[in-house]
Amino acid sequence: MRIIRIEATDSTNNFLKQRVAAEKLEEGTVVQAFAQLVGRGQAGNHWESEPGKNLTCSILFYPQFLSVRSHFLLSKVIALGVKETLEEYIDDVFIKWPNDIYVQDKKITGILIENELTGPEINRSIVGIGVNLNQELFAGNAPHPVSLKQLTGKTIDQDTFLEEMLNRIFFWYEQLKEKEIQCISTAYDDALYHTPGYYRFKEINGEFTAEIQSVADDGILHLKTDTGEERRYFFKEVSFIMD
């Protein structure tokens, strides 16, 4: 596995995308930036990260064995790897659908996966991961940010965290290659934030109470309402109501 460490970039996802367009890079190549100046989040949001404080990195995958229909399995294995790494430091780590990592009710990690498709197959994925390690003040308007240092009071060594995280991510990626789909999906569902039990959700037609049943391989969230109705949602069609 090759780690390309750089001083500064706009976004490690952009950097890796440009690099792989210019030269052939092996699967597992990682770009880690000391400072990420214009970090990108999901849905066009900005990802805040104070230079030198946090882990901002991107990993290159060629999951050509995955169909577009089951693209979300890659998200599941990445989220599981990050979650397990955080559990080395702290309890109460959950995956908030689709792939944020929360500790208690605060967001500690964001994941941005950008796929390049060839017909019905995924040719290449750039997996961007931002883990709040040592930042103690968040200036932007990100919802409920928190860092490991804020939670544990300890300064976290970035290289140790990265090494552990890559080991765990690649362990789960191997499971995916070996088609251990049930095992991956069960581990993912078991790690979900706000499960088991009934919680408040919001969608275009209003608020409702439901229990999460599962997340399918295409990323669709399966809910059962308190009136027994089964509902399915794509990313951004429904959100959790946070207290």
Is residue 58 involved in binding ligand BTN (CB under 6 A)? yes
- 44: left (phi > 0), else alpha (psi -120 to 50), else beta? left
Q: Choose which of 42, 115, 185, 225 interacts with ligand BTN (CB under 6 A).
A: 42
Check residue 81 for interaction with ligand BTN (CB under 6 A): no
Three-state secondary structure call for residue 148: helix
Query: Closest approach of Cβ 162 to ligand BTN, in Å?
Result: 12
Q: Which stretch binds ligand BTN (CB under 6 A): 37-45, 59-67, 76-84, 232-240?
A: 37-45
Here the tokens at position 38 are 């214009």
Q: Quick one: 35 or 181, whose CB is closer to ligand BTN?
A: 35
Is there binding between residue 41 and ligand BTN (CB under 6 A)?
Answer: yes
Task: Assess contact for 60 and 71: CB atoms under 8 A.
Answer: no
Q: Quick one: which of 173, 182, 216 has its CA closest to 61?
A: 173
Tokens 């979900």 found at: 192
Do residues 214 and 189 make contact, with C-beta atoms less than 8 angstroms apart? yes
Establish if 175 lies at the interface with ligand BTN (CB under 6 A): no
Site for ligand BTN in 94-153 (CB under 6 A): 100, 110-112, 128-130
Contact range with ligand BTN by CB under 6 A, out of 35-43, 64-72, 132-140, 229-237: 35-43
Total residues contacting ligand BTN by CB under 6 A comes to 20
**Local structure of 203: helix, strand or coil:** strand
**Residue 77 to residues 171, 186, 210, Cα–Cα distance (Å):** 9, 11, 25
Binding residues (CB under 6 A) for ligand BTN: these are 11-13, 36, 39-42, 45, 47, 56-58, 100, 110-112, 128-130
